[in-house]
Amino acid sequence: MLQVAFIRQNVEFVKERLSIRNFPDTGLVDTIVALDDQRRKLQLESDTTQSRINAHSKEIGALMAKGQKQEAEQKKGEVATLKAALAPIADQLAAVEEQLNASLLRLPNLPAAAVPPGKTPEDNVTIREGGAKPTLPAGALPHWDLAKKYDLIDFELGNKITGSGFPVYINKGAKLQRALIQYFLDYNTAAGYTEYQPPIMVNEASARGTGQLPDKEGQMYYVGEDNLYLIPTAEVPVTNIFRDEILKETQLPLRMTAYTPCFRREAGSYGKDVRGLNRLHQFDKVEIVQLVDPAKSYDVLEEMVLHVEKLLQSLDLPYRILRLCGGDMGFTSAMTYDFEVFSAAQEKWLEVSSVSNFEAFQTNRMKIRYKDGAGKTNLVHSLNGSSLALPRIVACMLENHQKDGFIALPPALHSYFGADAIR
C-alpha cells in the first residue's frame, strides 16, 4: 500500500507511474487526496474540541476548589455541549478513514523506473537466455503422455477424487516431486535462507498484508466458516511472520524459504494451455522471501535473479529471463523478472518463476519496520521469488530429457532421486 504522504507530495508522478501500469482509474489518486483533506479537517475539529473539553475540565476543578460552584456548573454544561458535538465528528472521522483505507487498498504499487511500458506479455523485455533447446527423439511425447507411459501422474484419478486441476502423483512421479522439493530447499538453505514450514491457510489480515486482498479475492479458495484462505503461495504466510514488528538493523537482511502446497482457483482458465501440468488448482512450490534495507533492495533483486538462474541451470533446462512490462506486472510489484523454460514437446515457453521487488508496498500494509543507526524507524523492503514452482519444471524435465525408452535426470537430482533416470 502506498503511503498517503507520498501520494500527496507526488500526485502527478503517481499518476504517471500508474499509466505505465495501464491502471484505468488514475482519478482514484485525486479521491485519496480529497479524502485525506477531509480526514485532516475532521481530525483538526476533533483535536480542537477535545482540547477545549480538557481545558474546561481543568477550570472546573479550579473553580470547585475556590468554592465557585455556580461557575463550575456553567462550565460543566459547556463541557457537555462540547462532548455532544464531538460524537458526530468522531463518527464522520471514522467513516472517512474507512473510505480512505479502502481506496488505498485499491491502488496498485508504482512500477520502478526501469519497468518498460506495455500492456501485454508481448511487450515484456527478454534480458537473457541460457541453456540449449534439445533435439527430441522421433515420436517424442508431451508430458501428459509421458506421465501415463511411465506411470508417474494420474490426471483422471485426481479428477475423480477432487476435480480437474488436482493430479495424483504415483510411484516415481511422487518420488520425483519429493526429490525436487528437497533439492530446492537444500539449494536455498545453502545460500543462507532459513527454512520455515508455515500454515497453508491464512487469516484475512495476512492475505491483505501481502496484497492478495482485495486484489485477488476471487482467485483464492475461501473457508467461509472459519474466515480463512488457502494460500496461493508461501509468500503470504512467510512474509507475514514479521507483521507488526520493528526489527533491528542488524537483523537485515532476513532470508526465508519454505515449501508449501499452493492453491489457486484460476477462474477463467481453459483450453490447451491448461492441459496436463500447465495450469493446476493445487501444486507444490518452494519460495524464497527477503526483508531488506530499502537502499539495498534492487541489488538484492538481482542477487535473487542469479540465485534462481543458477538453480535452473543445474536442471539442464533451456530458459529465458524477462523483465515484465507495466501492464503484465502483479498488483503489488514494483519490478518483476519472469523465468520461462522451453517445453520442447509443446514447442512453447512456460513460466516457472517470478522474482519481484515490492519495495515498501507490502511492508506498509504489514507494518514491518526497522530502526536504523540514528534510531529512526523505517519500512523495510520485501522481495520474493519462486525457487521453484514444480508443475511446469516437471513438465519440461519430462519432455526435454526424454530419450528412447527412458527419461534422463540432471546430475543434481541423482542423489535425491536415487537414480539417474526414470525407466
- Cβ contact 211:104 at 8 Å: no
Helix residue ranges, H only, 227-334: 235-239, 297-314
Same-domain check for residues 94 and 125: no
For residue 151, what is the DSSP state? T
Residues 130, 101, single domain; the answer is: no
The share of the chain scoring above pLDDT 90, in percent, equals 91
Q: Compute the distance between CA of residue 78 and CA of residue 73 in angstroms, rounded to an integer.
A: 9
Q: pLDDT (tens digit, 9 = 90+) per residue, 85-115? A: 999 999 999 999 999 999 999 999 999 999 9
74 versus 308: the higher-pLDDT residue is 308
Residues 180 and 289 in one domain: yes
Helix (H) or strand (E) holding 128: strand 125-130
The answer on 340 and 300 residing in a single domain is yes
Annotated binding-site residue numbers for L-serine: 233, 264, 287, 384
Helix axes 11-20, 27-65, angle to 10 degrees: 140
- Mean pLDDT of the 239-258 span: 97
DSSP SS3 for 408: strand
pLDDT in tens, 3-53: 999 999 999 999 999 999 999 999 999 999 999 999 999 999 999 999 999
Q: How far apart are CA 166 and CA 256, in angstroms?
A: 28
pLDDT at 220 over 60: yes
CB distance 335 to 297 below 8 Å: no
Element spanning 42, H or E: helix 27-65
pLDDT band at 73 (very low <50, low <70, confident <90, very high): confident
Q: What is the mean pLDDT of the chain?
A: 95
Look at residue 261 and give its three-state secondary structure.
strand
Confidence band (pLDDT; 50, 70, 90) for 66? Answer: confident
244, 278, 241, 245: which is closest to 256 by C-alpha? 241
Q: How many independent structural domains does the chain possess?
A: 2
Count of all residues that appear for the chain in the document: 423
Place of cell 477535545: 50
Calculate mean pLDDT across residues 318-335. Answer: 97
Annotated binding site for ATP: 264-266, 351-354
Is the residue at 154 inside a domain?
A: yes
Annotated binding site: 233, 264-266, 287, 351-354, 384
Given 79, 106, 133, the domain boundary residue is 106
Q: Retrieve residue 222's grid coordinates.
A: 475461501
Give the contacts of 33 (CB within 8 A, at least 6 positions apart). 7, 8, 11
pTM of the shown model: 0.92
Instruction: Identify which of 161, 262, 258 has the alpha carbon closest to the alpha carbon of residue 216.
Output: 262
381 and 312 fall within a common domain:
yes
Instruction: Indicate whether 271 pLDDT > 90.
Output: no
Domain termination site, one of 106, 129, 159: 106
